[in-house]
Structure 1
């Protein structure tokens, strides 16, 4: 027979109260029910734990030796149950998220601060990576949720929320395009470009948006990271196209950000999870915060 948490609690209560009557009152049990629990524990242990007569009750030698161990087991199990309940209602736990670097460097820090204010016992494991890696981490269950870019076509991934991230052109203040109020695709096709590397979600949108221009593109550099692209623009290597939400686009006082007058310059972004997997309650709470941040114009 397995040890039962209620039975252990019954023995500890009797030992501390020195009385079945007082222990039963403390546990809100009838004395017969308390007696059943003690007998059940004794059967599980295989030894008598209490000596009882009409005047008092006392631990047997075996009961005295086991009591500290049973008290510790009771505390440990109560701690486990308390932690499990907290996780079940979203009051603790670890949020494992993979996200685009633009999101990690812009919106994510504010969301973490807000979450830690509401749920002090929450922890975070963050992977800031390109969209294809976000999807792979979600698919392989290395993370629970992802903020990815581009169209989500993987049948193993569920989209929890979808939005768009407008793209803008970034160029030096001295550049000819800096004087234009709005830039069109043909303007971009006529100047050297610093584009993020093939395989990134931004590059896929840019390639598709510029595919109808008649000019052959002059691609000067293809860095992976946006900060590198900004540095290359600062050095005069060309014009880059980045998400409007990326903090990198406004990090350099010598550069200007110009809107692009074409609807194709918008990157789909989405909150995703593995299909068929239940998210921890605390992660569900964080997903709601992410949804709200994506709905709010920034």
Structure 2
């Protein structure tokens, strides 16, 4: 017979109360029910734990030796139950998230701050990576949710939300394009371009849009990260096409952005999870605070 949490709690309560009647009242039990629990624990242990008389009970030597051991066990088990309930009701837990760097550096900090104001015990593990890596991390269950970009989403993933990220031209304030309110593909297709590297979701959108316009771009540099692309534009190596939401774009006082008059220059974004997997409650609650501005596919 295994040790029972209720029986251990009954033993510890009787030991501290020194009386079955008081202990039964504290546990909201009848005295016969409490007696059954103590007898069951004694049978499990194989020794008498209390010496009883009509007025009081006293711990036996075995009971005195077991009291600190079972008290620690009771505290540990009750803490484990509290932790399990907190994970179950979403008041505790870890949100494991992979996301595009633009999202990590723009909306994510405010979302985490607002969520932790409501759920102080929530923890976050954030991986800011390119879209293909986001999908892989979710697929391999290294994270539970991912904010990814691009037109194709892995068939093993469920889409929780969708949205879009409009792309813009980034150029120095002294550049001829800075004088325009909007630009067309013809305005910049022949200019040196600083484009994020192949394999990034932004590059996939730009390549598709330029291909549709039958333009052959003059690619000057292909950095992996937007911060590097912005630095190269600042250094005069060319202009770039980046998401309007990217904070790196707006942090440079010497640079400006101009909208592109072409609906093809839009990056789809999606919040995803692995198909067939149940999200932890805390992660599910966090997902409900995210608004990508698109439609939920549910």
Tell me, in whole angstroms, the C-alpha distance in 1 between the residues paired with 2:127 and 2:214: 39
Aligned to 2:293: 295
Aligned to 1:185: 185
Greater CA drift, 83-92 or 130-139: 83-92
Partners of 1:93 and 1:121 within 8 A in 2:
yes
List per-residue Cα deviations over 1:32-61 (Å, max 9, x = no partner): 111111111111111111111222211111
Tell me, in whole angstroms, the C-alpha distance in 2 between the residues paired with 1:66 and 1:157: 52
Tell me, in whole angstroms, the C-alpha distance in 1 between the residues paired with 2:56 and 2:235: 90
Report 1:40-79 matches (<5 A): 40-79=40-79
Cα distance, 1:201 vs structure 2: 0.2
Tell me, in whole angstroms, the C-alpha distance in 2 between the residues paired with 1:4 and 1:239: 70
List per-residue Cα deviations over 1:121-157 (Å, max 9, x = no partner): 1111111000000000001111111111113431211
Structure 2 length-normalised TM: 0.96
Aligned to 2:104: 104
Structure 2 SS opposite 1:151: coil
Structure 1 length-normalised TM: 0.96
Cα distance, 1:216 vs structure 2: 2.1
- Unaligned regions of 5+ residues in structure 2, if any? none
Report 1:268-279 matches (<5 A): 268-279=268-279
Cα distance, 1:12 vs structure 2: 0.8
Aligned to 1:37: 37
List per-residue Cα deviations over 1:243-279 (Å, max 9, x = no partner): 1110011111111100011111110101111111111
Tell me, in whole angstroms, the C-alpha distance in 2 between the residues paired with 1:201 and 1:222: 13
Aligned to 1:209: 209
Report 1:243-262 matches (<5 A): 243-262=243-262
Aligned to 2:4: 4
Structure 1 SS opposite 2:212: coil
List per-residue Cα deviations over 1:176-233 (Å, max 9, x = no partner): 1111111112222121111000000000000111102344210111000001111111
Aligned to 1:219: 219
Structure 2 SS opposite 1:211: helix
Greater CA drift, 222-231 or 176-185: 176-185
Task: Note the aligned Cα RMSD (angstroms).
Answer: 1.2
Tell me, in whole angstroms, the C-alpha distance in 2 between the residues paired with 1:144 and 1:71: 37
Tell me, in whole angstroms, the C-alpha distance in 1 between the residues paired with 2:37 and 2:212: 79
Tell me, in whole angstroms, the C-alpha distance in 1 between the residues paired with 2:286 and 2:212: 40
Aligned to 1:113: 113
Cα 1:31–1:152 shift into 2, 3 Å: farther
Partners of 1:163 and 1:268 within 8 A in 2:
yes
Is 1:136 equivalent to 2:136 in the alignment? Answer: yes
Structure 2 SS opposite 1:113: helix
Is 1:149 equivalent to 2:149 in the alignment? Answer: yes
Return structure 1 stretches of 4+ with deviation > 4 angstroms. none
Tell me, in whole angstroms, the C-alpha distance in 1 between the residues paired with 2:141 and 2:236: 42
Cα 1:54–1:152 shift into 2, 3 Å: farther
Partners of 1:189 and 1:213 within 8 A in 2:
no
Report 1:15-30 matches (<5 A): 15-30=15-30
Greater CA drift, 116-125 or 200-209: 116-125
Cα distance, 1:93 vs structure 2: 1.0
